Amino acid sequence: IQGTVLKREKVLLQTRLAQAIAARELQVFYQPVVDARSGRIVGLEALARWHDDLEGWVPPDVFIPLAEHLGLIHDLGEQVFDHALERLKAWRREGNSVTAAVNLSRVQLFAPNFQERLLDKLKSYGLRPQDLVLEITESVALLDVSYESKRLHELAAAGFSLAIDDFGTGYSGLAQLHAMPIDTLKVDASFTARLNTEDGRRIVQAIVQMAHALKLETIVEGVEDEDDARYLISLGVTQIQGHHFGEPMPAGVIDMLLAKQAAQMA
Ligand code: C2E
Ligand code: MG
Ligand code: MG
């Protein structure tokens, strides 16, 4: 009986998600990516948010897979791009050079015409591929290598900046990483969470050294305190993301932070 109830609840949640996407009710929050030394905001990662009347805030780890399953990830992804590009256009207008990072799911990456549609969209906002970072999780990026698809190479050739998200949770080998047209590794927060142990510190150090050897930027995610930040800086990490520097926030709050930062630099 419990299984049936769960199943019915899941169907109802799916229905409400479909309605929310159709009504364009999903929100997008932005989390600062900061320069490790100066603390200056250099990028903003767009993170989808869904507030359901019955469930409250439903985490993306729940609704993104649901949207994929329902075939609605294209709509959802399109809305996230629209939101992010609209904001980015406004930040550019203010003279700010921050980039915006958008997460891509597997289905989006491998959809026909994905690149053409994104390029058209960028043009309609008066932005360039160089303004965007596309985040692709390690496991999805590996599919591109193993199926000899040229998706990532096409995107890189068009000028997009590519970042491997959740790095360290997949199984890419050095040769594969080297062959990927990527600029950045985003070290998964599960590694940051273990920086309080000697083993944890050694693993992060090894990842950062490998990234340097491959001439890749590293962004370490999930940085929650000053000690971790200081240790990462000592390793030569250039960019950091995490609650210590800023949680994902509504666009209006980011607008204020960017304005404050611009005033301080003037
Ligand atoms: P992600 O891209 O790796 O995003 C980073 C996640 O870490 C975010 O979770 C963020 O809120 C969380 N985080 C940030 N700072 C800290 C910290 O200091 N400590 C800890 N413990 N966590 C921190 P969120 O927003 O729940 O998103 C989860 C995942 O859902 C994302 O992981 C991403 O893979 C996916 N996602 C979110 N929005 C989208 C979207 O628009 N499209 C797609 N395809 N996936 C998305
Ligand atoms: Mg991400
Ligand atoms: Mg991640």
In this structure, which residue's CA is closest to atom 21 in ligand 1? 222
Beta strands 249-250; 27-35: pairing state: antiparallel
| Side-chain half-sphere exposure of 10, counting CA atoms within 13 A | 12
Nearest C-alpha neighbor of 54 from the set 5, 88, 20: 20
Q: How far is CA 104 from CA 68, 73, 156, 190, 227, in A?
A: 11, 9, 15, 20, 31
Name the closest ligand to CA 31: 1
CA distance 229 to 241: 10
CA distance 222 to 68: 25
Q: Are 148 and 127 in contact (CB under 8 A)?
A: no
Give the ligand 1 atom nearest the CA of 28. Answer: 41
In this structure, which residue's CA is closest to atom 4 in ligand 1? 47
Q: In the chain, which ranges are continuous DSSP H helix?
A: 2-22, 60-69, 73-93, 106-109, 114-124, 138-146, 151-157, 174-179, 189-192, 198-213, 226-235, 251-265
Q: Which two tokens stand for residue 78?
A: 């399109």
- What pLDDT is recorded for position 90? 97
Q: Which amino acid is at 252?
A: G
Q: Render pLDDT for 144-194 as a digit per residue (tens, 0 to 9).
A: 887 767 899 999 999 999 999 999 998 888 888 988 999 999 999 999 999
Q: Render pLDDT for 10-60 as a digit per residue (tens, 0 to 9).
A: 889 999 999 999 999 999 999 999 999 999 999 999 999 999 999 999 999
In this structure, which residue's CA is closest to atom 35 in ligand 1? 60
Burial of 205 (0-12, 13-18, 19+ CB in 10 A): middle
In this structure, which residue's CA is closest to atom 34 in ligand 1? 103
User: Ligand 1, from 45, 72, 103: best to mutate by most atoms within 8 Å of Cβ?
Assistant: 103
**Looking at residues 56-71, what average pLDDT do you find?**
96
CA of 262 relative to ligand 2 center, distance in Å: 25
- Which residues are placed with Cβ below 5 angstroms of ligand 3, an ion? 165-166
CA of 165 relative to ligand 3 center, distance in Å: 5
Nearest C-alpha neighbor of 156 from the set 136, 179, 182: 182
Q: Are 232 and 221 in contact (CB under 8 A)?
A: no
CA of 221 relative to ligand 2 center, distance in Å: 9
- Which residues are placed with Cβ below 5 angstroms of ligand 2, an ion? 103, 135, 165
Residue 104 has pLDDT above 90, yes or no: yes
Q: Are 77 and 105 in contact (CB under 8 A)?
A: yes
